[in-house]
Structure 1
Amino acid sequence: MLRAAPFIKRIGELKFRHNCSLQLAELFLTEMTKIFGASEILGILLTSEVVLEAASRGVFEIVDLCLKYFPELLWNINFVEKLEKEIVEGRHVELRRLLIGHNAVRCFADNDPSEGMTKLNTLIKWSPRCISPDVSGAAFLLQRELQWFQAIYVVASSYKWLKFQMHTKTPWEIFVERRKELFKEAEQWMKDTSTSSSLVATLIITIAFAAAFTVPGGNNDSMGIPIFLNKGSFMVFAVADGFALLSSVIATLMFLTILTSRYTIEDFLHSLPRKMVMGLTFLMLSLASMLVAFSSALTIILSERFKWIYIPITSLAASPIVLFAILQLPLYIEMVESTFWPRLYRPIKLWK
């Protein structure tokens, strides 16, 4: 009899409890609606703050379920303002996408002066609730904050009105002032990461350049042509080594561009994250290509004596790639998505 590993069993049990809780909540709403009527349940949801509490904790499923059964909740302006406040304070991206999907964009783009101060205070304040576990590094956390600011304050006239009323600073100036520490951490994180990564890329350039002139098996003394030129493994080695060299050069240029950047806070929205993602992408490609070149070189040297040598070599070369996929790939995907296709701007499709 097969037994699941302990951590797989825990994940399964957690998922089962999650589904049961969601089904119980859905059953409760359905049965209570039949007993008391939709209008009374709607009033309870508006006065009990159950939905607002779920939104405060980022429980997407409960909010989605309540809006699915009672879309009339979004007709109450006071409720919508409170719901928006909880979503913005907790930086709950999926809940904002849900509201956009329910055609509640006006909640985030409303240009009514009477609501300007409330939205300003909600957005610009900084607290531990703003830190998301799916963000890799301080630079991408600052990027997420800038995306929130851009998503909510999309109308320039609101800036002018708030500055006129407050007689001190614009929302942008207050936003930047309250994130000085985060900005310093983001700048230091970007510089440290670029320095370390450029060092690795430089080492790969050195190794790949040297390997191009010291090919496996050596060259023919009279012609200077590689001895194993006609072997398929040699062509794999040549292509992989060349690709590793070019990729590492591009990665180094990207990291040097980051190191020489002017480092304004606006650069952390698009410019610096894109360069970092591209630099890391080419660095990983160069590492993978270097492993392929190393494996093909060993195969060329040892295949004459050990015909089966390519099997363990391939397995060993693939192990670092598998290890990276397990440890870093989720954060890397989140980094790429946040930079090139941020979820914050994409509404959830309610009807497919």
Structure 2
Amino acid sequence: MALYADAAVVELLDSSNYKDWSVLVKTYLLAQDLWDVVEEEEEYDEEEEEEEEAEDEFKAWRKKNAMALHKIQISCGREAFSLIRNTSSAKHAWDTLAGYYNYNQNKPLFDAVLSGDWNEAEKFLTLHPDAIRARLPSTNDTALHKAIELENEHIVEGLVQLMSEEDLKLKENEGWTALALAAQRGNIEMVECMVRKNEKILSIPNEEDNMTPILHASLNENWDVVNYLYSVTPLQDLMPGKGPYGAGLLYNFILGMKFGSALELIERCPQLVFTQDIDGQFPMEGFVPSAFPSGTRFKFWQRWIYNCIHIERAISDIRVSVQNERNEECNRWKITWSSVVGFLQGLKSNLLQLLGINRIREIKQAHNQSRELLHHMCELIKHKHGHNYLLDAIFTAVEQGMFEFIDSVLQARPDLVWRTNEMGRVPFQFAIECRQEKIYSLIYRLNKKKRKLIGNFTDESNNNALHAAGMLSPLANLDNIAGAALQMQREVQWFKEVETIVLPGDKESTNKDGMTPHKLFTKNHKELVKEGERWMKETATSCTVVGALIITIMFAAAFTIPGGNNGQTGFPIFLHKKLFMAFIVSDAISLFSSTTSVLMFLGILTSRYAEDDFLKSLPTKMIIGLSTLFISIAAMMVAFSSALFIMIHKQSWIVIPVIFLASVPITLFIWMQFPLLVEMYISTYGRGIFDRKVKSRA
């Protein structure tokens, strides 16, 4: 019996009477005009608290909620009341009790789903058809949600057949529909069977993140699911007026490098380019460096293949040539045309696999598609006023070095060169800060007057372009430069380059801290100068030891010649042999080059290490020192091998092993030091990192 006279039920809720109890309590709450607070919870906006009408509405709702909650509480037994003791919401209390007691009654269904036994699940649903909507008390999952989590496809298909269209709209605690869960997991079969049942669920967003199923699938790169959902999703559901879903899908297409799909979506709905997604991002912010050639790193042979992928065309030409003469040649060699075709196809397949051409071709195709998409988007922004949809994308592209993106956007919208970021810096000034030389080189497309204006432009801290060159920004792209000395050289090169675009007065202008560009450069690069000095000295010291050792050996070898001297004339016994002349010449070359090397390294050790020394003086000494050291090592090996051949000329079998062993130190030097030598030479005497004759490459 009920404990209170005004209880809504005769018997308190326990594990055996929930179904009857829920009917009675719901009828009572409807009669008392309290059911609406159980059916839908009030969302109170604190920002409107000062408005008298809104405050009165909230007080009225709070009173009804308390009355409904009280009726539910006093209608519960001891066990039931313990489940809702700490809740203050009538709706939450009702849902908690429903989930708990429904689960107990429908536990056999969930057990059958968890064990993958569809026969048992089907038997239970035949007897209890309402159990198809039963929930787990902890997560509010239906049996369909659990089957999808376990990826039991046959159970999912069976459950979907027994569910109504409305049942597929049910959500668990975090607001996920079963379709969203299947799309996130990338199971195309489960997705298809649910969409065939009810296409309306395509447009239902999750309450947790406000994302539709197709967005979850694209975010997790389940592209087969995305392609299917995209084919069945009505276009109006992706239009800007319907929300951020279309823009979000376009952003994910671009981020996932599905540029063909992105282009098709833009052609169907151009306004998406100017629409924000759920996170407030615009589609053009989805581009990443790997979408363009400038952001893709290749080895030298991969770059060669990328630039001239014509192997398939060549094989096709061979096939055409063979086909034209197949009768004559096949008759001569008594072979069939099919065998020739099979051989060529096998050759093609092996070459493609060996060289990785298929992968390189895919990358090149993606680059071509990205440029096509970017060109189409730039055509749209030419005729669109405003710039908010572009600013973040531009400065992100500058930071990441996406040259093609900046090139195309600035050609479409030249006015954007004057737009600033949160620090008050224009794109070219930000490119200086990030040390993106390719993007900075685009400044040479502008006339001299505009370049000077950009150089004179100051940010919020009164820093001009030369101040930006004087900063050692954490965004600076220095990690790809070997050694602190070369990094310092690159910094000096940047400072000297930016000096050419600023007015003479700008070189001495001060920022808010009272620092001129040169003083700022000195302050920010103090530690890098020390690191560069230490790197130079350590390298020079190590190489000096090697050079001094070679000098000692080669000097001694000149007076202890192989075979000795003639006792009567004093001349070397093997004076007229070619190998002896090779020994003498290589010994002299090794001695002189190692001496030159040691002198260069001594010059490095005694240098003053001023900032400008890192530009030419120190790198030149290092280049000469390393080059002559390499020559001395190579010549020393030739001298040693020549002397050895003279002494064991009758043992010809040992020649090849000696040559192999003599090449080992030369190979090691080339492997360890030659790349540094080449990089230093190109950095010091190459064409430079800036392109003053830059052309459009987008």
Which TM-score tier does this pair reach, normalised by the shorter chain? 0.7 to 0.9
Q: How does 1:249-268 map to 2 (within 5 A)?
A: 249-268=595-614
Picking from 549, 565, 588, the partner of 1:203 is: 549
1:252 is paired with a residue whose SS is: helix
Instruction: Please say if residues 466 and 507 of structure 2, whose CA atoms lie closer than 8 Å, have aligned partners that are also in contact.
Output: no
Q: What is aligned with 1:89? A: 433
Q: CA RMSD in A?
A: 3.4
2:628 is paired with a residue whose SS is: helix
For residue 297 of structure 1, report the CA deviation from its aligned partner: 2.0
Give, as a single letter, the amino acid of the residue that structure 1 aligns with 2:439: L
Q: How does 1:1-352 map to 2 (within 5 A)?
A: 15-30=360-375, 39-40=382-383, 47=390, 49-64=392-407, 66=408, 71-74=411-414, 76-79=416-419, 82-100=426-444, 102-103=445-446, 109-110=452-453, 113-115=456-458, 117-154=463-500, 155-160=503-508, 162-163=509-510, 168-306=514-652, 309-341=654-686, 343-347=688-692, 350=695
Give, as a single letter, the amino acid of the residue that structure 2 aligns with 1:91: R
Distance in 2 (alpha carbons) for counterparts of 1:117 and 1:333: 36
For residue 268 of structure 1, report the CA deviation from its aligned partner: 1.7
Aligned CA distance change for structure 1 residues 82 and 253 (closer, same or farther; 3 Å): same
Mean Cα deviation higher: 242-251 or 52-61: 52-61
Give TM-score scaled by structure 2 length: 0.44
2:695 is paired with a residue whose SS is: coil
Distance in 2 (alpha carbons) for counterparts of 1:77 and 1:319: 55
Give, as a single letter, the amino acid of the residue that structure 1 aligns with 2:469: L
For residue 42 of structure 1, report the CA deviation from its aligned partner: 9.7
Mean Cα deviation higher: 137-146 or 151-160: 151-160
For residue 274 of structure 1, report the CA deviation from its aligned partner: 1.4
Distance in 2 (alpha carbons) for counterparts of 1:45 and 1:321: 58
Instruction: Please say if residues 135 and 331 of structure 1, whose CA atoms lie closer than 8 Å, have aligned partners that are also in contact.
Output: no
Deviations 1:242-261 (A, max 9, x none): 11111111111111112112
Aligned length: 341
For residue 91 of structure 1, report the CA deviation from its aligned partner: 1.1
Deviations 1:81-123 (A, max 9, x none): 63313321221233333543x3466666547644372424432
1:254 is paired with a residue whose SS is: helix
Distance in 2 (alpha carbons) for counterparts of 1:350 and 1:211: 58
Aligned CA distance change for structure 1 residues 42 and 300 (closer, same or farther; 3 Å): farther
Instruction: Please say if residues 135 and 335 of structure 1, whose CA atoms lie closer than 8 Å, have aligned partners that are also in contact.
Output: no
Distance in 2 (alpha carbons) for counterparts of 1:202 and 1:254: 12
Distance in 2 (alpha carbons) for counterparts of 1:297 and 1:61: 58
Instruction: Please say if residues 32 and 41 of structure 1, whose CA atoms lie closer than 8 Å, have aligned partners that are also in contact.
Output: no
Instruction: Please say if residues 417 and 427 of structure 2, whose CA atoms lie closer than 8 Å, have aligned partners that are also in contact.
Output: no
Distance in 1 (alpha carbons) for counterparts of 2:438 and 2:654: 49
For residue 14 of structure 1, report the CA deviation from its aligned partner: 6.1
Distance in 2 (alpha carbons) for counterparts of 1:18 and 1:348: 28
Aligned CA distance change for structure 1 residues 275 and 47 (closer, same or farther; 3 Å): same
Give, as a single letter, the amino acid of the residue that structure 2 aligns with 1:78: W
Aligned CA distance change for structure 1 residues 329 and 313 (closer, same or farther; 3 Å): same
Q: Percent identity?
A: 35
Mean Cα deviation higher: 318-327 or 248-257: 318-327
Aligned CA distance change for structure 1 residues 106 and 298 (closer, same or farther; 3 Å): farther
Distance in 2 (alpha carbons) for counterparts of 1:197 and 1:176: 30
Q: Greater Rg, structure 1 or structure 2?
A: 2
Give, as a single letter, the amino acid of the residue that structure 2 aligns with 1:39: K
Instruction: Please say if residues 42 and 73 of structure 1, whose CA atoms lie closer than 8 Å, have aligned partners that are also in contact.
Output: no
Distance in 2 (alpha carbons) for counterparts of 1:282 and 1:327: 16
Aligned CA distance change for structure 1 residues 125 and 239 (closer, same or farther; 3 Å): same
Aligned CA distance change for structure 1 residues 113 and 133 (closer, same or farther; 3 Å): closer
For residue 156 of structure 1, report the CA deviation from its aligned partner: 3.6
For residue 265 of structure 1, report the CA deviation from its aligned partner: 2.0
Instruction: Please say if residues 136 and 335 of structure 1, whose CA atoms lie closer than 8 Å, have aligned partners that are also in contact.
Output: no
Deviations 1:307-333 (A, max 9, x none): x54433333333443444444433321
Give, as a single letter, the amino acid of the residue that structure 1 aligns with 2:683: S
Instruction: Please say if residues 99 and 105 of structure 1, whose CA atoms lie closer than 8 Å, have aligned partners that are also in contact.
Output: no
Deviations 1:2-29 (A, max 9, x none): 979x9x86x7676445323211112223
Give TM-score scaled by structure 1 length: 0.82
Aligned CA distance change for structure 1 residues 56 and 251 (closer, same or farther; 3 Å): same
Give, as a single letter, the amino acid of the residue that structure 1 aligns with 2:418: N
The structure with more helix, counted as a fraction of residues = 1
Aligned CA distance change for structure 1 residues 110 and 30 (closer, same or farther; 3 Å): closer
Distance in 2 (alpha carbons) for counterparts of 1:45 and 1:18: 31
Gaps of 5+ in 2: 1-345
2:609 is paired with a residue whose SS is: coil
Distance in 2 (alpha carbons) for counterparts of 1:332 and 1:13: 34
Gaps of 5+ in 1: none
Aligned CA distance change for structure 1 residues 129 and 37 (closer, same or farther; 3 Å): closer
Give, as a single letter, the amino acid of the residue that structure 1 aligns with 2:372: L
Distance in 1 (alpha carbons) for counterparts of 2:663 and 2:696: 42
